[in-house]
A and B are shown apart, each in its own frame.
Chain A
Amino acid sequence: MAEESATRNEDDIRILAFLCNWCSYAGADLAGVSRLQYPAKVLDVRVMCTGTISPYFVIKAFQEGMDGVLIAGCHIGDCHYLKGNYMTAKRFQVLREALKFLGIEEGRLRLEWVSAAEGEKYAEVIRSFTEEIEKLGPSPLRRKRAEVGA
């Protein structure tokens, strides 16, 4: 089981990805179907549309100690719900600047448009984002193991 595994250590980074059901989740599926390999440090949450991703979700993710948060949705114009991702684009701008002002590296939050056909792009996004977060290291907001009582 996980515990016995040697490869894990405290400083391994972890990323949370919010994927819209119609484009980016499908893109991630395609990456899988195409057996494209990328680091296993990302966990994904499926939402119907990025438009439903409240800034609260992102704050919550950082609060809980995620080192990076990815939001991926349909390209502008491809949204299955026409314009849901417009709100994502706007909210993201504000959110990223806010985090920056508070001293949370802006690189820890990323927005990408990944279509259902872009399996390769999805894999590449995860690769590069993982790399970037690894450069930044564990989030300063991370709680220590002791604090989470594990």
Chain B
Amino acid sequence: MSDLKDLVREKLKDGVDAFLCLKDEEGTLLPALITDADSPELELVEAGGARYPMGKILIDLLREYPGKRFAVLVRGCDERALVELSKLEQVDLDRLVMVGLACTAEEARACGCTRPYPSEIALGEKAEAAPGRETIEEVEALSEAERLRWWKEQFSRCIKCYGCRNVCPMCFCKDCALENPHLVEPGVIPPEFPSFHVIRALDMTGRCVDCGLCEEACPADIPLRSLYRKMQEIMEEKLGYRAGESPDEKSPLSFLGSEQDIEKLEREQ
């Protein structure tokens, strides 16, 4: 894809030390860090085809190479992740140049996120968002008892691979509640209900950017994304916050706020 090549070359010439995007290595799409404008690797760069947790990779890169500046090819979800991570002080946006890639209409439909494009689009055409609420609606239609049964059934498939957490761009804790024996009993598969999945859902509240990598990584097809999506809906409805959207607005769960806010909250409930 010629124009991505040009973009990479251009950014590298503009003084970023490296460009993070995908490349096709003998038919395998994988993230690659291009550091040299003239490297033959440049011929292999790819825009789409697969998604990887670029945010997660950048946390390490920015920390490992404190003097370096990076450019990265971002989709809407990657951008949201990086924005939220910067609020959580995990990435330094000043050392980051985001090159926007809009998801194709087909990708957008398949994915169903609320914003399948970044704030600035360098590549591709802005496609209509096709937010998917089917699962949420299905669950909400159920009675409480049925809901519980439904989720228990879903979670009962969990093999505790921890993939949802490992792949999540927003998970950076050095010590994870999911590995706290008080909360998640070691060696028990599937994990007890509600501990594992509810704890993760709660930690995702005001954090999850709806990239869907968790669900993609889940070998048991647990509808994690719908669970976390619902948490974001709750967050937005109750505390008026959506993760990853505005860079200067922080999650209400990360500051005390004013008495008025709380009184309002109390009145509304």
Contacts and interface: CB of A to CB of B under 8 A. Distances in A.
A39 interface: no
Interface in A96-133: 97-105
A63 B194 contact: yes
Interface string B132-162: 0000000110101111111100000000000
B253 A104 contact: no
B199 interface: yes
Interface residues of B, number: 42
B248 interface: no
A67 to B, nearest CB: 14
A63 B202 contact: no
A62 B183 CA distance: 11
Interface in B169-193: 177, 182-183, 192-193
Contacts, number: 99
A105 to B, nearest CB: 6
A48 interface: no
A37 B52 CA distance: 60
Interface of A: 55-56, 59-60, 62-63, 76-77, 83, 86-87, 89-91, 93-95, 97-105, 140-141
Interface of B: 139-140, 142, 144-151, 177, 182-183, 192-195, 198-199, 201-202, 205, 227, 230-231, 234-235, 237-239, 252-253, 256-257, 259, 261-263, 265-266, 269
Given A59-B202, A102-B194, 19 more contacts: A55-B199, A56-B177, A60-B183, A60-B195, A62-B194, A83-B256, A86-B261, A89-B265, A90-B262, A93-B234, A93-B238, A94-B202, A98-B201, A98-B231, A98-B234, A103-B149, A103-B150, A104-B144, A141-B193
